[in-house]
Copies of this chain bind each other. A is one copy, B any other.
Amino acid sequence: MDNSKIGQHISERFNQELEDIRNKVLTMGGLVERQIELAVEAYTTGNMELAEQVIKQDNDVDALEVAIDQECTQILALRQPTAFDLRLLIAVIKIIHEIERIGDKAERIAEMAIQLAGNESKIPHHELEHMADLVKGMLHDALDAFARMTLENVPGITSMDEKVDREYDNILRQLITRMMEDPRNITRTLDVLWTVRALERIGDHACYICEHLVYMINGEDVRHLSQEELEKRVKVAR
């Protein structure tokens, strides 16, 4: 399956509309990928300008969600699509909502960067950056799967989430140890915990995007399935 699915309509105008929505989703996704990157950089470098920028740009993300959502609703009303086109539009409405929530998490990381500014012991940077790389990769791959309308990378993305959860547990244990050793810094350590948790949730939302993609491409609802069951369904569909 490839994106030639878009572009087979008798109405040239309809093709353009769907293509336009696809591009806008990718723009929104790219913006949020960048938001995560900047938020993590703000956190690790203590650059407050970057953090402020992330918080400010969250409005752009929100505005894009509203705009794409409205466009989808309009197309639903005017074109009355069925089959793949209908699933595409419904999936887009759901996917942009996940992207918007990811944007909220990036904003949360930026807020924590500001809270923690000037605190030397706010690390572990290395582990946090590694976890950020993992979830950024998941989001990137999910957006790529949407762009190419293929499911081949979906099982890889969802299994990556298990790795993210393990990293999260690992960092959580370290943070608990630190809180026990230095109870005066519990508030600050909790702020680190919120940051790590925001990253972990980004991974979850990337997985939700994948579930919406499977529904869109296969017409099958795979939400609430185990990793093993998901892999089976995607394999059958290839």
The interface of chain A, by Cβ under 8 A from chain B, is 59, 62-63, 65-66, 69-70, 73, 76-77, 80, 82-83, 86-87, 90, 93-94, 97, 176, 179-180, 183-184, 186-187, 190, 221, 223-224
B76 lies within 8 A of A86 (CB): yes
User: Which of B82, B87, B176 contacts A187, CB < 8 Å?
Assistant: B176
B221 lies within 8 A of A69 (CB): yes
Q: How far is the CA of A224 from the CA of B66 in the complex (A)?
A: 9
Q: How far is the CA of A186 from the CA of B176 in the complex (A)?
A: 7
- Chain B residue, CB-CB nearest to A194: B197
Q: How far is the CA of A190 from the CA of B179 in the complex (A)?
A: 11
User: Which of B63, B90, B187 contacts A73, CB < 8 Å?
Assistant: B90
User: Which of B82, B90, B179, B223 contacts A183, CB < 8 Å?
Assistant: B179
Distance (whole angstroms) from the CB of A140 to the closest CB of chain B: 24
A184 lies within 8 A of B180 (CB): yes
- Chain B residue, CB-CB nearest to A89: B76
Distance (whole angstroms) from the CB of A70 to the closest CB of chain B: 7
Distance (whole angstroms) from the CB of A107 to the closest CB of chain B: 12
Distance (whole angstroms) from the CB of A205 to the closest CB of chain B: 11
- Chain B residue, CB-CB nearest to A90: B73
Q: How far is the CA of A90 from the CA of B76 in the complex (A)?
A: 10
Distance (whole angstroms) from the CB of A201 to the closest CB of chain B: 11
Q: How far is the CA of A186 from the CA of B180 in the complex (A)?
A: 7
Closest 8 CB pairs of A and B: A80-B80, A62-B224, A180-B183, A183-B183, A77-B82, A66-B221, A179-B186, A77-B86
Query: Which residues on B sit within 8 Å (CB–CB) of A73?
Result: 86-87, 90
- Chain B residue, CB-CB nearest to A190: B176
User: Which of B59, B90, B180, B187 contacts A93, CB < 8 Å?
Assistant: B90
User: Which of B70, B176, B184 contacts A221, CB < 8 Å?
Assistant: B70
* New A-B pairs, 5, CB < 8 Å, besides A66-B221, A77-B86: A69-B221, A73-B86, A76-B90, A93-B93, A176-B190
Query: Which residues on B sit within 8 Å (CB–CB) of A221?
Result: 66, 69-70
Distance (whole angstroms) from the CB of A117 to the closest CB of chain B: 20
Distance (whole angstroms) from the CB of A83 to the closest CB of chain B: 7
